[in-house]
Each structure stands twice: as structure tokens, then as C-alpha cells.
A and B are shown apart, each in its own frame.
Chain A
């Protein structure tokens, strides 16, 4: 990644500032194009990526804040993100999850996600044997879904329940792909376990 600098000073952009003519540049995050000119839409530093041998991509990278608000991610989840959430409700055809973060960082605002029956696993099972309310699950965002929730999927072996509490109230450990065992009472319960 090359950063463009005229001399020593980097180029700062204000929303609405014209960066350059359209030319061979492709548009990255933080800018938009209008009438074959590229304008910035964020407050930040202008950065030119070398995408392939012939074209450069223009991005505006917002200056990171030094306050504690950088500890949490403010951007919503996008398609393909692996997210972690807590099961809020299990019905016969969907599992509703409160997404509170990705593997790397937490979100500032919790989002709603839904794992539909077809996306839970390849085999047909009763959803109550896969998830229970209060389980922590890892899933992948499949699409933006409907206005109420993102659509998630646990179809892969990496995804599924990563932490659960048994009916007796004690934490459970995974024993195989479909079962977890309570640490205190040694009772097995069925879950869709992540690897």
C-alpha cells in the first residue's frame, strides 16, 4: 500500500473536496464520483492503493480517534463477516441471535441476526436440539436480510455453539459434533457444536 505524499505532508481531505479527475482511478471507501471527478466523502487522509499493475484505487481513511470509542467497531456487519452472538429466541424455523461482535472486536451497537432452518446445518434436525436460549454462537453473515435482522448461517463445521450452559446451570464442554457435556453433572445435551 503506497500512501501518496507530496513531499512530507500527507494529503488531508474534507467531505466534498475534489481529489482528482476520474482517469484511471477506481473508487475505494470514503469517496464518490460525480461528472468524471472523484470527491472525498469522509474527513481523513487520502491514500492511493495499487490494486493491479495499471490502476490505482483512491481511498479516504478517517483519522483514528484517540478516545476509548475506538475500542468498539462502529460499522455494521457486512456479508461474509464471522460474527459472535447470543441466542435470544429459538422457534421451529429460525434462531434469533443478538450479534454483539466479530472475533476481533465488539460492536458499539448490538445488531439482530437470524439463522433460518435451512442455514443451520446440512441435515434436518429439530432446532431445539441445536441451540438453546442463552448459548453463544459463532456464525457467518450470509446477507443483509430483512429490515429486522441480518441473515446468518452456521452451515460449516467452524460455526455453531461455542459456549453453553446446561439445564442444571453449569457450563458445558463439547464432546463431539452434536453433543455437549455438563461439567458438573455429566449430563449430555445435544447442540450444534463449533469445531
Chain B
């Protein structure tokens, strides 16, 4: 088990969901909802629902950097990417402990998610085309029901494409959990994530040959790791194709009204 829950007297609690059965086949994703232009003021925005996980992302830029970076002229010839991820106060379920530090700056987990998003997207944006500008991404996690980072990557991709920022490629992402029964569960929800012995999240740019990011928690043998990653890559490809189709449909819808 990756995460252990403790009761009020600090005894390890057997999960309430021991009788949890996954209702869909191991290989299938949850229902995916995609939307763009949800935030009118931002240059671009995206909204993604993966089952019950909901994420909204907004992109501002290219704009003059809010915080002047040190480093002189060479650093300024490329654009800069900043990211702020916020978990909303109601994103986790009430059976878990409530955050005791709401509103006191960014928590450790939020900062980690922000850094991961920046590292995943930095090679994807063509920052050379935006000298002296900063592109700011703001992500809010509205509800976390497993594979939150996957949803964040998808939402950020949609937002960046919507903001007409030059990208090498659209980025898609997928999560695979390995259950205690050695099954590969695609797109796990929260209970599956917690009962799993390992979790792998993969982000890949659709039309390039390398992965952006592999995030791995837990213990796996090398063969299991390899097959989990390959499975995640296949799933990410299908998600990415749906995203591209969605973007093309949106464009075709908006075009006739402009002519």
C-alpha cells in the first residue's frame, strides 16, 4: 500500500474501501471532459475532467515578467515559464484529514506539482520566440479523485494551445497503478491509488519521440516498470488523439462565425 490512513487514536485504519471493485475494465479510462476558453480574461484556458477529478488551468502571456529575474542579458533572450498550482480547499474528500494550513502560502505538495509542471513543459514551449517575456500558468485542482497530475498536464496543454503560444507539440499524459494483485490499472481513482503498490505517471508530447516526464512512486521490478510505462504511453497516445480532435472541432466551430 502506498498510503496508510490512520484513525483518530493513531491506529492504522483498514481502508473503508476494502471491498472496492473496479467497475470498468483495467484498460479503460474514465469519462473525459475537455473544454477551452473557460476563463475569459486569460490568454488561454483549459478545463479537464477525468471521471471526478477536475482541473482548471489558465495561461497568461507573453507578458513582461512580474518578478525581474537575475542573470543578465543571456537569460532574457529566451522567454520564461512560471507556474502556480493551487489545490482548492475542497479538493480532497471529507473522510481525510482537512488541511490545517489553508491560506498560509503554498504547501509542499503544491510547490512540487508546480515544479513538475514547469519541468515537463519547459522543453515543449518554443521560448526562443518570446524574448524578455514571461508565460505564466495558473492551475487550480478543484477535485482530486486520483491521477490529478495527468489532468493538470492535459488542462495546461489545452490552455497553451488556446493561448496561441508556440509549442513543439501537444502534451498528453496518463497514469497507471499496479494493484496488490499485480494488475495494471489505467487511470486509477483515489482508492486505487492508495491501495496500489506502485504508481507511474507519464507525460509525452504527441508528435515527438521522447517522453517529457515519468513520475514513479513505489517499488517495481524492471520488467514490470517497462510494461507499465509502455501501457501508459499507449493510453496517453489515445488521450492525446482525442484532445487533438477536440481542438480541431473547436477551431472549425469558431471559424464560420468569423468569416
A residues engaging B (CB < 8 A)? 10, 12, 14-18, 30, 32, 39, 41-45, 62-69, 74-76, 108-112, 144, 146-148, 150
Q: Across the two chains, which residue of chain A brings its CB closest to B255?
A: A63
Check A32–B248 contact: CB distance below 8 A.
no
Check B64–A109 contact: CB distance below 8 A.
yes
Check B21 for interface membership: any CB of A closer than 8 A: no
Chain B residues 89-143 with CB under 8 Å of chain A are 126, 130-133
Q: A14-B244, A32-B126, A67-B40 are in contact. Are A41 and B73 (CB under 8 A)?
A: no
Q: A14-B161, A75-B62 are in contact. Are A41 and B251 (CB under 8 A)?
A: no
Contact partner of A14 (CB less than 8 A), chosen from B133, B170, B208, B257, is B170
Check B7 for interface membership: any CB of A closer than 8 A: no
Further pairs besides A15-B166, A41-B167, A74-B62: 5, Cβ < 8 Å? A16-B207, A41-B126, A42-B164, A43-B247, A65-B37
List residues of chain B with CB within 8 A of the CB of A32: 126, 166, 168
Check B8 for interface membership: any CB of A closer than 8 A: no
Check B23 for interface membership: any CB of A closer than 8 A: no
In angstroms, Cα B164 to Cα A190, docked, is 45
Check B41 for interface membership: any CB of A closer than 8 A: yes
Q: Report the interface size for chain B: residues with CB under 8 A from the other chain.
A: 39
In angstroms, Cα B208 to Cα A16, docked, is 8
Check B76–A16 contact: CB distance below 8 A.
no
List residues of chain A with CB within 8 A of the CB of B208: 16
List residues of chain B with CB within 8 A of the CB of A16: 167-170, 205-208
B residues engaging A (CB < 8 A)? 37, 40-41, 43, 62-64, 68-69, 72-73, 75-76, 126, 130-133, 161-162, 164, 166-170, 205-208, 244, 247-248, 251-252, 254-255, 257-258
23 A–B contact pairs at CB < 8 A?
A12-B252, A14-B244, A14-B248, A16-B167, A16-B205, A32-B126, A41-B168, A42-B167, A43-B162, A44-B251, A63-B251, A63-B255, A63-B258, A65-B254, A67-B37, A69-B41, A69-B43, A74-B43, A76-B132, A108-B43, A144-B132, A146-B76, A147-B69
Q: A43-B162, A66-B258, A144-B132 are in contact. Are A15 and B167 (CB under 8 A)?
A: yes
Q: A41-B166, A41-B167, A76-B132 are in contact. Are A66 and B248 (CB under 8 A)?
A: no
Check B257–A147 contact: CB distance below 8 A.
no
Q: Across the two chains, which residue of chain A brings its CB closest to B77?
A: A144
Shortest Cβ distance from residue B18 to the other chain A in the assembled complex, whole angstroms: 44
